[in-house]
């Protein structure tokens, strides 16, 4: 009986095996074209994007990583930790077999991003920037680059895998490097892949590879790699291009999660913008920059992708009342931290090396490695050609001030078309009426500024007197008006310091504007220029650090006796409007 059952079971299994073979025989021809098509698509994408992948090497050949081109004139993204030890110039190879000179442009020590520029061409191949927020878990991705610095022939290595997680937070591990809102992939990221591109299945650039979780010995990839999202990099791009060493934002407040799951403020700086605009300890955070806040980790992720000094919307509940404010964010680090000593670029703090079971120090996973024998070593040892020597200008606070000078020239160029203000050396008298119907006269002279409005007169002396908040509650409107005169008359030369900040959405809304920052004594002014028209659309002027600024927004630039001036001035401070002034007449012929 038992033998019969065994025979029957074997017969049943045989029938099933035969059926499976038959099914595979029938199905395989149908599946094969789909598999072949997917394979051809992968090959096509890889061939299309490979020319944009950069192999980065130190000028002397000892160290490097990867990168990716994002503009035809040679700007390329990589990691901060890849270039931090290479100096202002480096060598970069592309899969066309050519080794190019490259220069450092901008640095982000916290976000682990750097911008470099390859030199010698204006027609480099360019990667298409994607939208990293559209990535979903399970999406296919490609990692390309120079793992273990093997790409000495400049042909990038390719690995293929899926998105394992999105919006991941990787805290600092003994350095400044903090990965916020990053992308986790099982696509192999190995030492040397740092700074290289993460492409989606369509070949769009969605991230810059940086960290990997490695086995303790041998630096073997464990299947968990992390890439900085391209959407975060977009927020900082114009600051990088300005040759700056950038910083990330902090709120000026700490948060915690309550037992009911709400995220509340448990500490706040009274000098912060958020405090001045009404946020208090115990308030519940609802959303930040338009994204809901449901945990401390999520809040850190959102906050960490924005630059210092951006103004962004914050929604919170104060004693049950829902409120919305727009606040300017503070910096995560002091300037002295980002620029220690006289160096032109920061040096990350490294953790004490751990030891393995044999008592030998373990290698730190993300530092540049010594490359294998390089057939191009002699070429890389050559001095930077004389033609590139002017591409680097050292200045404290900047990775490469040369690029900031270029951006200042670009933004200030339209001012020349506003008319000859340099010859208007006398008093400027602007008159008209406010939107409320009040007549006004604003006099901007060399030695003082005066305003008559609403049967009241205000005056600010400019010599031997500290700047004052006049009219009171405006944040110093009279001083701000004088700053405008200086800008129109002398441009950058009218101030003790001037630099191009980058871009930001004015008032935390709408399109990005170009931002110039000037200082004169303690007075700091942010100037906002439309990227479409080149016109000045506003300014924020602070009398002192952490003071509420005077905010003026300009509209309708008109011609006044051959000189163009804004015809509408909306003056606010601390989100309270002082007046909207409509300029009807401008006289530049007054005495000094």
User: Which pLDDT belongs to residue 29?
Assistant: 55
Q: What does the pLDDT read at residue 353?
A: 41
Domain containing residue 198: CATH number: 2.40.10.10
Closest CA to 452 of 477, 418, 416: 477
Q: Is residue 340 part of a domain?
A: no
For residues 433 and 321, membership in a common domain is answered with: no
435: which DSSP letter?
T
Chain mean pLDDT for the chain? 85
Q: Given a cut of 60, is residue 218 above it in pLDDT?
A: no
Identify whether residues 218 and 294 lie together within a single domain: no
**388, part of any domain:** no
- Token duo for residue 382: 């050559």
> Which residue, 589, 234, 259, 192, is CA-closest to 430?
589
Encoded tokens for 444 = 């901007």
Residue span of the structural domain in which 186 resides: 132-233
pTM: 0.84
pLDDT in tens, 339-356: 643 333 334 433 434 444
Which of 57-66, 262-271, 447-456 is the least confident region? 57-66
CA gap 263, 259 in Å, rounded? 10
Confidence band, pLDDT 50/70/90 cuts, at residue 154:
confident
* Mean pLDDT, residues 470-485 taken together: 96
Same domain membership, residue 226 and residue 253: no
Asked whether residue 219 falls in the same domain as residue 255, the answer is: no
| Band of pLDDT at residue 28, cut at 50, 70 and 90 | low
Residue 301: alpha-carbon gap to chain centroid = 14
Does one domain contain both 154 and 204? yes
Neighbours of 124 (CB within 10 A): 22
Q: How many CA atoms lie within 13 A of 348 on its CB side?
A: 27
Catalytically active residues, by annotation:
81, 112, 194
Domain co-membership, 202 together with 294: no
Last residue of a domain, one of 331, 355, 386: 331
Predicted pLDDT of residue 21:
46
Domain count, the chain: 4
Whether residue 436 sits in one domain with residue 555: yes
Determine what percent of the chain is predicted with pLDDT higher than 90.
Answer: 64
Check pLDDT > 80 for residue 291.
Answer: yes
Q: Where are the beta strands (DSSP E) in 220-294?
A: 221-229, 249-250, 253-257, 263-268, 284-288, 291-292
């Amino acid at each position: 009986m038992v033998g019969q059952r065994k025979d029957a079971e074997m017969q049943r299994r045989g029938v099933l095996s035969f059926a499976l073979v038959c099914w595979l025989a029938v199905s395989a021809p149908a599946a094969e074209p789909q598999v072949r098509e997917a394979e051809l698509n992968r090959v096509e994408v890889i061939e299309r994007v490979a020319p944009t992948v950069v192999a980065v090497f130190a000028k002397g050949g000892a160290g490097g990583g990867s990168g990716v081109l994002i503009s035809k004139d040679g700007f390329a993204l990589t990691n901060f930790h890849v270039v931090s030890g290479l100096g202002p110039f480096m060598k970069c190879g592309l899969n066309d077999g050519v080794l190019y000179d490259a220069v450092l442009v901008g640095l982000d020590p916290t976000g682990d991003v750097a911008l470099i520029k390859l030199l010698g061409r204006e027609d480099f191949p360019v990667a298409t920037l994607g939208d990293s927020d559209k990535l979903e878990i399970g999406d296919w991705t490609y990692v390309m680059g120079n793992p273990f610095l093997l790409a000495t022939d400049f042909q990038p290595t390719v690995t293929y895998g899926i998105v394992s997680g999105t919006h991941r937070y990787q805290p600092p591990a003994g350095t400044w490097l903090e990965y916020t809102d990053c992308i986790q992939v099982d696509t192999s990221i190995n030492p040397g892949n740092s700074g290289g591109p993460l492409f989606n299945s369509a070949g769009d650039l969605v991230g810059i590879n940086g960290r990997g979780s490695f086995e303790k010995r041998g630096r073997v990839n464990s299947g968990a790699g992390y890439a900085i999202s391209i959407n975060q990099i977009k927020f900082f791009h114009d600051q990088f291009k300005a040759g700056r060493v950038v910083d990330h934002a902090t709120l000026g407040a700490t948060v915690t999660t309550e037992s009911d799951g709400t995220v509340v403020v448990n500490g706040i700086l009274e000098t912060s913008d958020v405090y001045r605009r009404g946020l208090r300890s115990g308030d519940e955070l609802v959303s930040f920059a338009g994204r809901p806040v449901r945990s401390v980790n999520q809040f850190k992720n959102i906050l960490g992708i924005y630059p210092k000094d951006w103004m962004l919307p914050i929604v919170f509940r104060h004693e049950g009342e829902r409120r919305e404010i727009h606040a300017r964010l503070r910096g995560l680090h002091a300037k002295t931290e980002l620029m220690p000593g006289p160096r032109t670029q920061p040096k990350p703090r490294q953790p004490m090396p751990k030891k393995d079971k044999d008592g030998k120090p373990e290698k730190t996973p993300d530092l540049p490695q010594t490359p294998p024998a390089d057939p191009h070593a002699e070429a890389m040892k050559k001095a930077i050609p004389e033609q590139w020597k002017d591409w680097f200008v050292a200045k404290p606070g900047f990775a490469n001030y040369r690029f900031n000078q270029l951006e200042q020239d670009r933004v200030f160029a339209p001012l020349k078309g506003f008319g000859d203000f340099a010859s208007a050396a006398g008093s400027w008298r602007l008159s008209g009426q406010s939107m409320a119907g009040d007549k006004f006269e604003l006099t901007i002279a060399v030695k003082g500024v005066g305003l008559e409005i609403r049967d009241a007169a205000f005056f600010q002396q400019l010599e031997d007197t500290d700047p004052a908040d006049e009219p009171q509650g405006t944040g110093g409107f009279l001083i701000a008006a004088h700053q405008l005169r200086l800008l129109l008359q002398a441009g950058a030369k009218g101030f003790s310091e001037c630099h191009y900040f980058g871009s930001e959405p004015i008032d935390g809304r709408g399109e990005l504007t170009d931002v110039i920052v000037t200082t004169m004594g303690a007075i700091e002014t942010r100037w906002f220029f439309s990227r479409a028209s080149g016109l000045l659309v506003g300014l924020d002027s602070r009398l002192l650090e952490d003071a509420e600024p005077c905010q003026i927004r300009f509209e309708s630039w008109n011609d006044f006796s051959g000189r163009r001036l804004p015809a509408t001035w909306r003056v606010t401070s601390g989100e309270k409007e002082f007046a909207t002034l409509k300029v009807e007449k401008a006289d530049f012929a007054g005495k000094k």
